[in-house]
Amino acid sequence: MSFINKLLDTARRNQSLLCVGLDPNPDRMPKMGILDFNRAIIDATHDLVCAYKPNLAFYEALGSQGLTILEQTLAHIPADIPTIGDAKRGDIGNTAQAYARALFSTLGFDAATVNPYLGFDSVEAFIGYQDRGVFVLCRTSNPSATDFQDLRCPDGSTLYETVAHKAREWNTYGNIGLVVGATYPEELRRIRSICPGMCLLIPGIGAQGGDLASAVRHGVDAQGEKAIINVSRQILYASKGGDFAEAARATAERIRSQINSCLKPKR
C-alpha cells in the first residue's frame, strides 16, 4: 500500500488529521525509560491519530542505544498507522541514496522529511521509493525561516513558492508532500493554492504558537483531507506525573475534536 493510501485509510478510520510527534526529551518526561514512555504514548493515542512522526534527532542524540529505541518504538506502532521519519535529510545524489535506504529500507518508515536545498538530485533518491511519502521542506515553522525562504527569485516569486512549484513538477509518482508551518497561515494558504492535491505536513501547533483553525482551514485539500497536523510537546508532556499517558490521550482527543470542528461538512 502506498503511503498516501495508508494515511487516508487511517485518517478516515480514526476520523483524525492529528499526527503525534514522538520526540522524547528525558528532561521533560516522567522518570522512566524512553521506550516505555513511547510505548505508553502510542497505546494511549493510536486510535486518535492519522500518523506518528519520530524526530530522529532525539534518538541519534542517545547514540547506538537511541537507534535501538527508535527501532523498538517503530515496531510498537500498529502496522496500519503510517510513520514519518522526521530527518530533514539532503545531500548529493550518492549520499542521498544512502539516506533514503536508511530511512525507508533499514528503519522502515512510510515517509520522510527531506531538505531540497541541494536541488533535485538530493530528493530524487527518496522519490524513487514510489510507495513512500517524501515531505519536502517548503515553509518551515521556525522564526528564522524568513532568512532564506522569503527571498525573491528572478521571476519575482519567493523561494518557498519556487520550492512548492518545483515539488509539484517533481511529483511524477504522486508521493511528494510539503512541510509547511502553521505559524505562517498566509503562506500556508498560498502553498495550498499552488499544490492543491498534495499532502501537507503541518507542524507548529501548540508550543510554537500556530493557530489551529487557520492551519486546518488553509491546509486541507478540497475534500477536507491530505493535511497532517503535527503536535508533539503539547501531547507528550501534558503531565509529568504517573498519569502522563492518560493526560496525553485527553489532550490528543481534545485537539482531534478541535481539528474536526474546523472542517467544513462534506457535501
Confidence at 267, pLDDT banded by 50, 70, 90: very low
Q: Shortest CA distance to 88 belongs to which of 62, 130, 129, 118? A: 118
User: What gap in Å lies between CA 250 and CA 231, rounded to an integer?
Assistant: 13
Confidence at 178, pLDDT banded by 50, 70, 90: very high
Report whether pLDDT(202) > 80.
Answer: yes
- Domain definitions of the chain by residue range: 3-262
The span from the first CA to the last CA of the chain, in angstroms, equals 28
Task: Tell me which residues are annotated as active site.
Answer: 88
* Residues 70, 23 contacting (CB under 8 angstroms): no
Report whether pLDDT(108) > 80.
Answer: yes
- Residue 32, pLDDT score: 96
Share of the chain above pLDDT 70, in %: 99
> Edge-to-edge, what's the strand order for the sheet holding 111-114?
51-54, 18-22, 227-231, 199-202, 176-180, 133-139, 111-114, 84-89
Report whether pLDDT(265) > 70.
Answer: no
Rg (CA), the chain: 18
Share of the chain above pLDDT 90, in %: 94
- Return the minimum-mean-pLDDT range out of 176-185, 189-198, 207-216: 207-216
What is the average per-residue pLDDT within 89-95? 94
The residue behind cell 481539528 is 259
Confidence at 264, pLDDT banded by 50, 70, 90: confident
Domain at 3-262, CATH class: alpha beta
What is the average per-residue pLDDT within 202-216? 87
